[in-house]
Amino acid sequence: MASIEPARPEDVVSVGRISESVFEDYGDYGKIVAKFFISQGVTTYVARVGAGVVGFLMLGFLPWSGGDSEGNPWIADLLAIAVVPGHRRRGIGKAFVEQMFKLAGEMGEWRDVREIQLTCAAGNLVGLNFFSKYGFSVIDPRHGSYLGGQAALRMGKKL
């Protein structure tokens, strides 16, 4: 079974490679995700099997830009989640989401984190089904498009 762990700096290479192949239809996400990896406020977890990385989840925390800005609210942004094809349907995605909820809960002890949001391609039925299962719903069905041209939608889950 894979173990879910905070990423080490050298995991940027594996995370970039996984993004490049899993998200290849959507644009140059190998490079984009590698940039997120080293960005301030972004936490990455990897799924490790032996010495290999078979998946990752990346979560960023941002100041809230919604209408109700009373206090000092924050939002958690699930920037990317991917499991390599040979390791799917074994509970790794679920374990990542549980780790993400745990981290958001911990952040919530000292910041006003109101919601977790994410962007998913409208045609990514596996992704939509996966996120719905863990309590996310569509909050913006027309959230622009990916670099590859696919329509993007925004999903959110209140905390």
Site residues (vs ligand COA, CB under 6 A): 22, 80-83, 88-94, 120, 124, 126-127, 129-130, 133
Q: What's the min distance (Å) between Cβ of 134 and ligand COA?
A: 8
Closest-CB residue for ligand COA? 93
Rounded CA separation 92/98 (Å): 10
Q: For residue 82, what are its two tokens? A: 């991917």
Distance, CA of 7 to CA of 46 (rounded, Å): 5
Nearer to ligand COA, 89 or 158 (CB): 89
What is the token pair recorded at 105? Answer: 């809960």
Nearest to 158, CA basis, from 101, 102, 115: 115
CB of 67 to ligand COA, least distance (A): 26
- Kindly state the tokens that stand for 127: 């992704």
Nearer to ligand COA, 108 or 127 (CB): 127
Q: How far is the CB of 112 from ligand COA (least distance, A)?
A: 25
Least distance (Å) from ligand COA to the CB of residue 124?
Answer: 5
Contact 23, 80 (CB under 8 A): yes
Cα separation, 107 vs 125, in Å, equals: 30
